[in-house]
Each structure stands twice: as C-alpha cells, then as structure tokens.
C-alpha cells in the first residue's frame, strides 16, 4: 500500500494541471456564460494526449491505467467540470468496446480516435427509463445482417458533435434487462437525429442533447457482445467510469477549497481576516478533510480495477461519497464568500452549479446507495 504518486504519475498530473490552468480556466467563464461547445479546448486536449485516455495504446489510444485516468480527470475538473465531462465522455462511450469488443471491433471502432479528433457518446438514458434501465423503450430488430434501431435517448453528452454512438436497445421488452443489447452506430446514418442543446444549470460547457433513432440500420458486426448481454455490458462500463466521475467531484471540491482559502485570507471582518474566525476555520477544515477522503476512495476504486478485480462496491462508495461531498464543499464555499459567493463575478457559484449534476448523472446518489446495500448483502 503506497500513498505516494510515482514520478511518472506526477509528471502526468503536472501536464494535466498545466492544461487546466493555462488553457481551460481562462476560457471557462466564457463557456459557462454562453453554453457554447468548447471545441478549441477539446482539440488542445487531444493534441496533449488528454483525450481517449482509456483506449489501449495498441489501438492508438493513450492507454493510461485507471489510477492515472482519475489523477488526470481531477485536474481537468479543477479547470472546468463541464470541459472534463466533455473529455471523458469519449472514454465512457468507448468502454463497452474496450471491455467487450472483439479485436476486429477494437481495430475498426477505437483506432480512428487516435488518428484525428473524433467524439463519441454513450446512449443509455431515456426519458421514461433513467435509473430504471430495464424499462428501456429503444428497440432493435434483426433483419438479415443488420439490426434496425428505433427509439430515443436523452441527456446524451457530446451527441450534437459525435461521430460515433454506443447505443443500448432491447430486442424484447418483455425480457426487461435480459433483452438489452449493445450496438455501435458509426457516423450519422439516415434516421439518426439529435435535438437542441439543453439549457443546463451547470456544466454548461458540455453539450447535452436528445438522440432519436428512426429505422437506423446497424451491421451485425457492430453488435458488442452477444444478444441480451447489453445490461451486463452497461453495468461493467459504469463500474469502470464511476472513478472518473468521482474524480470530477474532487476537482470541483479542490477548486472550491482553494478559492475559499484565498478569499478568507483577503476578506476582513472585525479587524482580522475571516479565516482567523473559528467558524470559518471549521468550514475550511471540513472541506479539506472530505475532499481528501473522497480522493482516497476514488484512488482505491481505480486501483482495484488496475489489479483486475471487480470494483462495484468501491466505485459506488467513491462516486456517491464524492458527489455528495462536492455539493457540500461547493455550497460551503459560497457561504465563506458570503453575499459575493452568490454573484457571478466570483468563481464559487459556478462550482456549486457544476457539482449538483454529479449527484444525478451516471447513477444518482440514491441509486449508488442501493448498489452499495446490495453489495453488502452479498
């Protein structure tokens, strides 16, 4: 058990921190205000090797370990959580292929991401089947060497700019989760449409739209796994992606803590900096403790994966604790700033808005608690 980063991990952390500090942070307020898609920031990340982190190097990816990915992701989120979400959406979408694709599928569907900037999206959530994945309404039927997809997905990150779609659809609604199958749709074939960009409260730099499938044809060669294995693939994907989502929480919380430390040294009341008041000290101490605890949980959940073990329990611990922690830390940061914390001229109100989403996406905090309970009962 080693609690120190290696020299290579620190170098990777430094590179990601420099990108977040020099490239992302100066433009983050603009993208938060306008909700424009940060294509320039994503392009810069691609050139620096901070995109497609999960794709193995033999398929033109960066090939980072899970622990290295969460180290990088914390820095990205420290710069801007919306940008971080946009960047790791590729990893989320490609994980089903990485985990369950054949060698041929990996060569065809993963390798092009290393050749030029290309975005992918993970299409699981539906308007009437959010946490209840087994109630999925998007259907697939087989016709010869093709499947035909019909239905719609919502809240899909990067969908408006994606070149590839990892889609979960059911072959038989009556089978519930046992009917779900995973497909990869390349390009934007006839019948695939995306809706308007959602006007979100936070993480406004990430593109979020609906995706509709109207008789969209997918070759059998683009089915990931066997028929009926889609639910298992989706759950394994989320086990792998939860450490990344947790690390976004940590980046937000660390930024909120740092802003609070700086502001509390500058702001004076009753003749002294507010950080000398015990009430503020208690808040800062708890912010720091909980941020550090979340980081350790997240590192553990990533390390378990790197050791080739199942991490369902550890990743749910990390995602749930970190998401709730980030919301509390960001809210406390607004409190430290007082009335100024509520103003857009100051950075912490954005962090509070960004943090809220992590309690909702990729498994709500309530769903994580259900997962944890079920794992404990095992």
Is 362 a catalytic site residue? yes
* Residue-by-residue DSSP string for 288-301: HHHHHHHHHHHHHH
- Contact 284/336 with Cβ under 8 angstroms? yes
Contact 86, 158 (CB under 8 A): yes
In order, the DSSP letters of 82-148 are HHHHHHHHHHHHHHHHHHH--HHHHHHHTTHHHHS---EEEE--BTTBSS-GGG---EEEEETTEEE
What sign for the dihedral angle of Cα 183, 188, 194, 200?
A: positive
Enumerate the H helices of the chain as residue ranges.
Answer: 7-19, 28-34, 39-48, 66-79, 81-100, 103-109, 112-115, 230-266, 278-306, 312-337, 348-358, 365-377
Buried b / exposed e over 319-355, threshold 16 CB at 10 Å, is bbbbbbbbbbbbbbbbebbeeebeeeebbbbbbbbbb
Tell me the sheet residues that pair with 217.
148
The catalytic position among 33, 143, 362, 375 is: 362
What is the Cα–Cα distance from 178 to 200, expressed in whole angstroms? 33
How far apart (Å, rounded) are the C-alpha atoms in residues 224 and 123?
14
Contact 240, 303 (CB under 8 A): no
Report, as residue numbers or ranges, the catalytic residues: 362
């Amino acid at each position: 058990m080693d609690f120190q980063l290696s020299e290579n991990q620190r170098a990777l952390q430094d590179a990601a921190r420099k990108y977040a500090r020099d490239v992302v942070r100066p433009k983050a307020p603009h993208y938060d205000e306008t909700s424009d898609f940060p294509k320039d920031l994503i392009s810069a990340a691609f050139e620096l090797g901070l995109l497609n982190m999960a794709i193995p190097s033999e398929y033109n990816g960066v090939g980072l370990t899970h622990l290295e990915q969460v180290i990088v992701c914390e820095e990205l989120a420290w710069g801007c959580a919306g940008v971080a979400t946009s960047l790791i959406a590729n990893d989320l979408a490609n994980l089903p292929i990485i985990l369950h694709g054949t060698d041929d599928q990996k060569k065809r569907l993963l390798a092009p991401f290393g050749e030029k900037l290309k975005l992918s999206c993970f299409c699981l959530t539906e308007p009437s089947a959010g946490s209840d994945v087994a109630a999925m309404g998007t259907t697939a039927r087989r016709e010869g060497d093709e499947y035909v997809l019909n239905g719609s997905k919502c809240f899909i990150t990067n969908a408006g700019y994606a070149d590839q779609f990892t889609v979960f659809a059911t072959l038989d609604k009556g089978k519930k989760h046992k009917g779900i199958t995973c497909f990869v749709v390349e390009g934007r074939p006839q019948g695939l449409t995306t809706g308007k960009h959602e006007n979100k409260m936070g993480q406004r730099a990430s593109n979020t739209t609906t995706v509709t499938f109207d008789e969209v044809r997918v070759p059998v060669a683009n089915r990931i796994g066997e028929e009926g294995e889609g639910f298992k693939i989706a759950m394994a994907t989320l086990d792998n992606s939860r450490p990344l989502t947790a690390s976004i929480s940590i980046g937000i919380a660390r930024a909120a803590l740092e802003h609070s430390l700086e502001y509390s040294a500058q702001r004076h009341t009753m003749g002294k900096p507010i950080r000398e008041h015990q009430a503020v000290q208690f808040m800062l101490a708890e912010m720091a403790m909980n941020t550090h605890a979340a980081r350790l949980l997240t590192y553990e959940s990533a390390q378990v994966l790197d050791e080739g073990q199942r991490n369902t329990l550890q990743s749910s611990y990390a995602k749930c604790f970190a998401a709730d922690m980030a919301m509390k830390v960001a809210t406390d940061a607004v409190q430290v700033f007082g009335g100024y914390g509520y103003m857009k001229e100051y950075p912490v109100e954005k962090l509070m808005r960004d943090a809220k989403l992590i309690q909702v996406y990729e498994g709500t905090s309530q769903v994580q608690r259900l997962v944890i309970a079920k794992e404990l009962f095992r």
